[in-house]
Structure 1
């Protein structure tokens, strides 16, 4: 086994009334190993990053993982995030893997740092992209803050992202004379670009206009109403807090962030993991799991049809 960070990893235990199994502890242990790789790169390249969402909540309330959570999320402000992506591509070596739209056959607007020796199976029909245990690294971008400029930036960002993820929808809108915030001729030019160039246009826009709004969020989650925008002032300053025996950077205004997002965050509320249905193993490589389980399913299908 790799270095052990989780206390009593070989035994199940009850935390906050929830059964934490040894398998879950092994997944946590791998995620901490990946987090420390993110931390190493960020410190080497002077890139500020923060625990975010459930990881921030777990750090503040449990000094570690929320017992019913199974992932680690960190956030980096968009200009610094672009430096992180560039640095990670140079720094991270196998068996670790940097997964984003530029490195794998998957369209996402964030980055995952994962271990190819493990499994976090999200797509059983796939095998076309890496599916190891991962740490999410989210860019924080400018979003609507109540001002006209903030609203415009948010809407333009959304249209540019749609050019990446759903170009047909933008094309259909243009054909039907739908009003857009990005100039029609600009959208038509972008739609004619290859995927990676469309993504670069979106990212460059986010960097260029980052300072023109007072609020930030992970855009995709915000646009889907799964997260709330928060003031940039929340992220001024860094305070380090205990997380399963290591120190993790938290925004200086973490209390304000958690109150805005979760309300009375100090009271634990058991809720499903964001990765319900994802099959995770710290011991089985994702390619082996996909191969062997799909083989068994095919054999079972053959039997049922005889």
Structure 2
């Protein structure tokens, strides 16, 4: 079946999408176990494991985080991944995020706003956990620098429909000039990585996923983060940081309370098989 023939596509249902994501997550888990790579569920996936023992019903992606040394080692092993699995990151042409994704190339995925920007497949978001400084001024400076670069990076590509209002005209102009320099996004991502690597994972007692949400990072003890435990996710035992309560409380507040229905939204992805 042609990947680009819209009329012949058979989109996966939400249930089918979840099943395929679990399959990819288990493949990732087994690869990490085989190669002694540490990881933890995080974000909405960790919340789903704790509150629902699986997916948040309206969630449609998978999030994991890894200690920076393990993250770098995983990226270095991308050629050793099983057939059909591929890691892409800032070094990949057309990729727009500062963190990496693990793709299953048998299933194409399209997110609203990214059509024509980058080619996506069924994915797992891979976030590095980096060391953070103890000094509050150093921490705030680090967050501010990464936040600035993150915003500039987001303006350097065209998200369709994202800049339609008059108040976004400045973003449009800035984005236009950034796109005139083809490697501006890669330079910005290098800046971000230089900033987050400065404290040093080995030298830090606290860690956070600064590259993802620099203005609202959830900072946890490195020792507690590295103390991994088993949690249930869709009937399987997967890895999670032992400080999950602290992490989820910082990230979501009263995380066992369901959000209002108006906030129960998906990424709106469409997925279809490529064969």
Q: Give the TM-score normalised by the residue count of structure 2.
A: 0.71
1:216 and 2:230 equivalent?
Answer: no
1:273 to 256, 261, 265: 265
The equivalent position to 2:105 in structure 1, one of 113, 116, 124, is: 116
* Alpha-carbon distance in structure 2 between the residues aligned to 1:249 and 1:76: 11
1:52 aligns with 2:45: no
Equivalent residue number for residue 132 of structure 1: 121
Counterpart for residue 253 of structure 1: 243
CA contact (8 A) 1:27 1:280 kept: no
1:84-233 aligned within 5 A: 84-87=74-77, 89-122=78-111, 126-127=115-116, 129-143=118-132, 145-155=134-144, 199-200=189-190, 202-203=192-193, 206-211=196-201, 213-225=204-216, 227-233=217-223
Mapped to 1, the partners of 2:200 and 2:68 lie a distance apart of 7
Given that 2:111 and 2:269 are in contact with CA atoms closer than 8 Å, whether structure 1 keeps it comes out as yes
Question: Aligned residues, how many?
Answer: 236
Q: Of the two structures, which has the highest relative contact order with CA contacts closer than 8 Å and spacing of 6 or more?
A: 2
1:164-220 CA deviation, whole Å, 9 max, x = no partner? 7779xxxxxxxxxxxxxxxxxxxxxxx9x8865764565355345234554433224
| CA–CA separation in structure 1 for the residues paired with 2:258 and 2:72 | 35
Measure the CA separation in 2 of the matches of 1:236 and 1:259: 18
Q: 1:240 aligns with which of 224, 230, 244?
A: 230
Cα pair distance change 1:127/1:242, threshold 3 Å:
same
Name stretches of at least 5 consecutive residues in structure 1 with no aligned partner.
Answer: 1-21, 168-190, 289-306
1:11 is matched with none
Aligned CA RMSD, in angstroms, stands at 3.3
Structure 1 residue 230: Cα displacement: 3.4
**In the aligned structure 2, how far is the partner of 1:200 from the partner of 1:221?**
14
Q: 1:202 to 1:284 in 2, by over 3 A?
A: same
Going from structure 1 to structure 2, the CA distance change for 1:198 and 1:256 (only over 3 Å counts) comes to closer
Could you tell me which runs of 5 or more consecutive residues in structure 2 were left unpaired when the two chains were aligned: 1-11, 157-180
More moved, 139-148 vs 59-68: 139-148
Moved more, 44-53 or 150-159: 150-159
